[in-house]
Structure 1
């Protein structure tokens, strides 16, 4: 086996496999090391995102949403659908087939682009060498002109609720239930907890979400967060309990008793299944030899600069294992940037324009700064809001919860942020990402012609509303 490469990538998740492919496209010899094995017994190309994260969760979210829509909402369209039921095993099987198709696709892309796929655990040694430990325990060493560390992240464990992947599960286990639990507990009201809770709530589970923080979705613009909390609790019947800190759990007779503390004292709940979704941590254990020169910082992240360079020349780190949001698209673009810099290009990345999405229904999506952040920074701003209930396209689709919120600088009118809760929010926000990337003003979007009737018109109207010029809602009087 060839043992010297221009680029050795550790990890084949969205950051790693994209970096490997782009480096190969640029004419470099590339090896990509992946330690995990998927459900089919093959190398788990695609990392967490494709195998047990973004893609399988979206498959279940879409299946469960279609079921809930058929059961609850078809009648509003005049469609009679009696006795609608969900075959959970078939839903899980469909999810697995999608995962298999996409991970197999990465394997094909590696072959087409000449990326060498290596199964094993990669460890960075001194002198830009990578030690690979195969599944059978055999060890080999690769020489690299450049190393890209893309080892990703893993779910955080908490002592009060030890994972057994049977009754108490992490996000991976919550994608594998073969029947709908009667009562489902979720620890953590973040992105993962809300998405997974939504899936099983739609299928009929009574879902209780226990969140230690007193504020719902603290990183989200709070006008959006309050609307989301109202929809999830009032309309979708998610039981979200804030200020609820889990202190213990006991599994007995196939059920779990959870003890938690809130403002009223100690309480207990019994669940059929418990999902622990309190965040993720970088997978940096045993990744670096003591003399590698690569430095770990707080909570196990690898230190890098704005260009994802570590303190060792020729060694880079990208994705969940470095600072910034743990988002697949952020990691992928870092991978591209690094591959291009290795090839001599002057690539850079704009961290101010990274969109974030929560794939509940309605979706929650954002780019830029929140109103709370701007207030804290003392930046003067103006806001335009347009509700989907005033959108003809949203009403026609019977999907009119939520709104678009546009924030612009008070003096320059430059767009500082956009926050959306509503139908297709993930796709709508991308229009604003492009606008912000080009330094657009709210007026620029207001002067753009949008097709009618479309959901995108809500973005247009929110931009107009910044100056009190929205057409299809009454405007607030400007002071």
Structure 2
């Protein structure tokens, strides 16, 4: 078999495997290199997202939510559940089964599309040569017309809380607790910290989240962020802002965390487990030879232009290893864009309309700009909001926390952003994303017919509320 390819992809996470499949669909001879190994030491595709990220965390989030509902909420529906308990090992087993099914699914898709799967650690050499070292240390070099770097990201480590994979863990270890900790500490109140804190909090852990920032979810629309804070605090998460961790000390099976609180005072908390989730960094360790021609930016990301081309001809980079939000779907679409351009198409990507979701319950989702960003840009705007407490469908489901917020330009009425905290927010935000992609106005959304009774009617009403036309809430009087 020839070692020359049209496209070699390094990394088989959502950015890499999607790029490889699309390249093969376009008739390009394609190989995908992956270093990940499962617990049995066998090479598997899927990267962080499928193996220890998006998918397993959602499996645990859904399991824990069902347990919490049965334990706390079923009685509201007239359902009596005595003696409900959680079998953590069975929950983890289900999670592992889903991961195995999906990672195996990529192998099947590679086979169906004619992608050559190469397991080992890939390194880009000069002139689009890729050196692959297998798990026994054997090296082999392949060449390609185009190389796509999709090496992903890894959790950021902090010196004051070194991960030992026993008491102090990162996001990967937090998916493997064999029992519910009595007291759980979480350093970092971002997406990952809130999701993992929610999993174990629902199962009975006393969860304390220590966030260094002064604002909760600073990257989100602050009206929705404040509502989310209120909801999650009501659920029992102890979220402490402006708290800087200064040290940790492990004794036996417990860890003592020292931190400075918002008033500058030193505090201590003792936990059974501590999750460090302060963000992720691009993974470029051993990825590039010195003469590869690829450069990194000042933050350690692979430098690319708007079309994901690096400084080296024929070398591209996509996903978490390049600038932009570290989101699986962003990486996947970058992968598609790159291979379609390699194939001679003129595909571009709209970075302004990328949905972002936090999978707590209720979910938090956004697309487009926040009110703070629109205000900072100096654009005139109008806002429409609608609470799920006024939604008949949400009431029927006993799921009425949260709201929908739509921001539109005051003169053109074009939708600039949407922000939702509430049931099925992840799916509802996509409706607005589709509308925004086609340049929709708030009036357009308001004139569409939405099914009744549905949660999506909240999107409809929020759009109507932009102009004071909401039907199922009292509209704010115009000044």
Per-residue CA shift, 1:177-220, capped at 9, x if unaligned?
01000000000000000000000000000000011111100000
Please list, as runs of the form range in 1=range in 2, the aligned pairs for 1:11-410 lying within 5 A after superposition. Answer: 11-233=11-233, 235-262=234-261, 263-410=263-410
Displacement after TM superposition at 1:40 (Å): 4.1
Displacement after TM superposition at 1:41 (Å): 3.1
Give the conservation status (yes or no) of the 8 Å contact 2:44–2:104. Answer: no
Helix, strand or coil for the counterpart of 1:351?
coil
Helix, strand or coil for the counterpart of 2:127?
coil
Question: 1:327, 1:41 → 2: CA distance?
Answer: 27
Helix, strand or coil for the counterpart of 2:335?
helix
Displacement after TM superposition at 1:266 (Å): 1.0
Q: Across the two proteins, how many residue pairs are aligned to each other?
A: 478
* TM-score scaled by length of structure 1: 0.99
Helix, strand or coil for the counterpart of 1:105?
helix
Helix, strand or coil for the counterpart of 2:299?
helix
User: Does 2:464 align with 1:459?
Assistant: no
Question: 1:242, 1:44 → 2: CA distance?
Answer: 39
Displacement after TM superposition at 1:42 (Å): 2.4
Question: 1:226, 1:96 → 2: CA distance?
Answer: 35
Helix, strand or coil for the counterpart of 1:72?
helix
Helix, strand or coil for the counterpart of 2:367?
strand
Gap runs ≥5 in structure 1 = none
Per-residue CA shift, 1:41-60, capped at 9, x if unaligned?
32230000000000000000
Displacement after TM superposition at 1:425 (Å): 0.1
Root-mean-square deviation (Å): 0.7
Question: 1:359, 1:478 → 2: CA distance?
Answer: 36
* TM-score scaled by length of structure 2: 0.99
Question: 1:456, 1:69 → 2: CA distance?
Answer: 23
